[in-house]
Amino acid sequence: MTSHLAITPGWTCGGCGADWPCPTRRQELRAEYHSAPVSLALYLAAQLVDAAQDLAHVPAGHLHYRCLGWTR
């Protein structure tokens, strides 16, 4: 089990303190969802909705890239 989980409401990584998902968690998610990229996108989209509620002060484009944009 990973220690790189989101700590809300700040959406920081519980493992390293970086913005979640941190580089380590991104690698873990890529590996976990290797054969299911649509499922990964759906999971991250749900995280984006939750993060947008907690991080209303963060520009939407930044949150989108942070949660979903890196998966391309």
Give 26-56 pLDDT, tens digit per residue.
999 999 999 999 999 999 999 999 999 999 9
pLDDT band, residue 61 (cuts 50/70/90):
very high
63 and 71 Cβ atoms separated by less than 8 Å: no
pLDDT band, residue 2 (cuts 50/70/90):
confident
High-pLDDT (> 90) share of the chain, %:
96
| DSSP H stretches of helix in 1-72 | 23-32, 37-54, 60-67
High-pLDDT (> 70) share of the chain, %:
100
Q: Is 0.85 topped by the overall pTM? A: yes
The Cα 22–Cα 20 span in angstroms is 5
